Amino acid sequence: MQWRDYITVDQNICHGKACFIGTRVPVTIILDNLAENVSPDEIMKSYPGIKKDYINAALAYAADLANERVLELKH
C-alpha cells in the first residue's frame, strides 16, 4: 500500500490538512472513525467518495506517522 497514491496536502483545501486526493475529506476524519470502532462499511456509507483503498491508505499513513519521521506529502 502506497498511501502517497491516495493522500495529499493542498493549502487551498481543508486549510492544508492531509486529505484524500480528489476529495475534501481529511484523513483524520477516517482515522477518528476507525478509532471509535466505526466499521469501514459505515465509513464508506457516510462518506460516499471514500473507498476501501482510502481507508487502508489512512492506516498506512498513520503507521508511518507513528514512526516519528518527517514525511513528504504531494502538493
- Please name each of the domains of the chain with its CATH number: 3-66 (1.10.10.10)
How far apart (Å, rounded) are the C-alpha atoms in residues 20 and 55? 10
Among 28, 24, 30, 29, CA closest to 53: 30
Long-range contacts of 14-23 (CB under 8 A, 24+ apart): 18/61, 18/73, 20/49, 20/50, 20/54, 20/57, 21/74, 22/49, 23/47, 23/49, 23/50
Amino acid at the residue 16: G
pLDDT digits (tens, 9 = 90+) for 1-50: 799 999 999 988 889 899 999 999 999 999 999 999 999 999 999 999 99
Model confidence band, residue 71 (pLDDT cutoffs 50, 70, 90): low
Q: Which amino acid is at 21?
A: I
